[in-house]
Amino acid sequence: MVCCVKANAYGHGLNDIALKLAEKSDALAVASLEEGRQIREAGVEGPILLLEGLFQPSELMEVEELDLWLVVHNELQLSWLCSSEPIAAIRLWVKVDTGMHRLGFTKTSAVEAYERLKATGWQDMVLMTHFACAEELDSEFTDTQIENFAVVSKQIQARKSLANSAAVIAWPQTHEDWVRPGFMLYGLSPFGENHPSSRELDPVMTFTSEVIALKELSCGESVGYNRCWIAERPSRIAIVAVGYGDGYPRNVENGTPIIVGGQRARVVGRVSMDLLSVDVTDLQNIEIGTSVELWGKQLSVNEVASFSGYSAYELLTRMPLRAKRVYLA
């Protein structure tokens, strides 16, 4: 299994998560040489795969020094590798574009790329592809991609890697030699919080803060910038010390769920940089210091995302450094 820790380990903190996941996986995957270097220097000893491969031919030397693995996805990278001495320790992952139309060789050029690398002396390669919509269970497109991949894989002798989280969960025929999950490793289902897989996963990130002020509002009074929410009844509003500067999305709708003192409540008014407000009129035992969960074990980030216009992937990966991370295990 290759565990994806790119994008700061989906916002969870690259070094700590990489070191932990390295103990439990066969390899880690990152997007860039910088991320690869960072986790190697942090102490990761096992294989690290660069999912976008080389950006410059000059990077090959550092890739060798850091003992990384490389994806090869285009003609330029192929020409750099075919004009270099093969390096036995670098495992190449030849990427086939089976329908995502982002990175990868076409079906025909993938076979040619593989043959050229082999003729140059590169050995021990993996053939990979990436799914465009494996989380859409009623789409036939994943089957099309699987078929396209088979056309290539039949023609060459290489190990195979297709599955992201959605495919690990729902497309067992794609598991092959190497699965490459990301999102699900962080305890979240790519199918959303209502899918059965969600109940078997335990969110890794719990995003918390606390109440730092309480306001009693009369009917017609508002809270926050631009008066985006106006009390329709006498209301008790808890002011929470967290805002978009901490990674909570500014554009959530009035009524976005939030957990205050273990009880479900609703965000009201505009989220500001360091603060947000919650209607706690109907809640018991709320006081200054009461704990607040923005998302985590009691409230899925998938659910919050659905009120924000962002995907849960984005909410996680855009967590800023300012949000202090505490690792419990």
Ligand X SMILES: Cc1ncc(COP(=O)(O)O)c(C=O)c1O
**Residues annotated catalytic, as ranges:** 6, 225
- Structure-token match 């330029």, residue found: 76
- For residue 103, the one-letter residue type is L
SS3 94: strand
Q: Which stretch binds ligand X (CB under 6 A): 178-186, 199-207, 274-282, 291-299?
A: 178-186
| Complex with ligand X: residue 77 or 235, whichever CB lies closer | 77
Q: Which residue is nearest to ligand X (CB)?
A: 182
User: The tokens of 326 are what?
Assistant: 């505490």
Residues 6+ apart with CB under 8 A from 289: 210, 211
DSSP 219: T
Please name which of 118, 124, 125 lies closest in space to residue 95, comparing C-alpha atoms.
125
| Complex with ligand X: residue 29 or 223, whichever CB lies closer | 29
Tell which positions 188-217 bind ligand X, by CB under 6 A: 190
User: The tokens of 250 are what?
Assistant: 């500014």
CA 4-195-135 angle, 5° bins: 50
| One of 122, 183, 244, 295 touching ligand X (CB under 6 A) | 183
Tell which positions 142-171 bind ligand X, by CB under 6 A: 164-165
CA distances from 164 to 2, 29, 159, 170, 187 (A): 10, 12, 16, 10, 14
- Asked whether position 317 contacts ligand X by CB under 6 A, the answer is no
| One of 36, 53, 99, 182 touching ligand X (CB under 6 A) | 182
Residue 257: φ, ψ to 5°: -65, 150
| Complex with ligand X: residue 34 or 85, whichever CB lies closer | 34
Beta bridge partners of 239: 213, 277
Q: Which stretch binds ligand X (CB under 6 A): 72-80, 177-185, 191-199, 210-218?
A: 177-185
How many residues bind ligand X (CB under 6 A)? The answer is 11
H-type alpha helices, the chain: 6-10, 14-24, 33-42, 59-66, 75-82, 107-120, 141-153, 165-170, 196-200, 301-305, 312-317
In the complex, the smallest distance separating the C-beta of residue 248 from ligand X, rounded to whole angstroms, is 22
Residue span 280-309 as binding mask against ligand X, x where in contact by CB under 6 A, dash where not: ------------------------------
| Complex with ligand X: residue 198 or 290, whichever CB lies closer | 198
In the complex, the smallest distance separating the C-beta of residue 130 from ligand X, rounded to whole angstroms, is 4
Residue span 32-61 as binding mask against ligand X, x where in contact by CB under 6 A, dash where not: -------------------x----------
| Complex with ligand X: residue 190 or 261, whichever CB lies closer | 190
Rounded distance between C-alpha atoms, residue 21 and residue 13, angstroms: 12
Which residues form the interface with ligand X (CB under 6 A)?
4, 51, 130, 164-165, 180-184, 190
